[in-house]
Structure 1
């Protein structure tokens, strides 16, 4: 039996489509288009169950329509809804070490030039104009844009990002 350790979470089965067992997959994995989706593991009753993908049609909005071997009816497909999807590490595209993304900053400690340690980045969201980091600052959520003029430096080895946030921004969250 395979364990979660050698699997990467990529999303979940969101809904059934039609009567022949087709399902919609929702990806929470940035480069979902590059995943090798021949076998997907679904978490069923705390166990990793392999499903062999027969067809998969990727869509633009982080979704795909897929059919699995032996899932040939909506009743069978229904059991897969809301199940988390995983793939083994070898199905994930290798990223070049220099291919750094703002989303890689989740888990980094934020240190402000004037305020000192603020806390850890718990989320990075892509907005139309920019990326927004959410920092857990002693239980409060501090949001700031990840823009070049605020970032002083990023130390990937130490998982630290140094910033100089606009005066007063941190104070808003300290109240």
Structure 2
């Protein structure tokens, strides 16, 4: 199994108890739709399979899991901070109409007044809203993804048309 044959889902965040249980943290949005019988952990730049004995998912992007042959905290401790992967064939299918703000990564942002600003390199979920980060000539321009600012989304051309508040772009150009 190589990184090209798999997709990243998160990492082992810490141990729990003395019997080898670990806490998993998911950075994969649809982690509840994943099938867990085996996961691959990145150890020395290689993906190593670990068979799951038990797993209990939680709503806060975490789970508690035990692996076969990991029955003591000392064996589990070496897994902490290891990245987790699943084979590409276990990627859940998404409804084509299920559009998310994170799908905008890679889109070109075009402002009504300033024209092309750059490509969206990140979308973060904050408590009240999503924030887009645009690479604008090496500087990071950030703005909220709110209906008030978005004029249109062209999924075919991967273009996001916006009308950003007056002065926002100028702050980043200085």
Q: TM tier, shorter chain?
A: over 0.9
- Secondary structure of the residue aligned to 2:81 is coil
Q: Give the paired residue count.
A: 174
Alignment of 1:33-48 (within 5 A): 33-48=32-47
The equivalent residue for 2:87 is: 88
**How much is the aligned-residue C-alpha RMSD, in angstroms?**
1.1
How many angstroms does 1:126 deviate by?
Answer: 1.5
Alignment of 1:3-14 (within 5 A): 3-14=2-13
Alignment of 1:131-150 (within 5 A): 131-150=130-149
Q: Separation in 2 of the partners of 1:131 and 1:60?
A: 19
Structure 1: 4+ residue segments shifted above 3 A: none
- Secondary structure of the residue aligned to 2:166 is coil
TM norm structure 1: 0.95
How many angstroms does 1:158 deviate by?
Answer: 2.4
Q: Separation in 1 of the partners of 2:139 and 2:169?
A: 11
List alignment gaps of at least 5 residues for structure 1: none
Alignment of 1:25-174 (within 5 A): 25-174=24-173
Preserved contact between residue 42 and residue 49 of structure 1 (Cα < 8 Å): yes
How many angstroms does 1:92 deviate by?
Answer: 2.4
How many angstroms does 1:75 deviate by?
Answer: 1.0
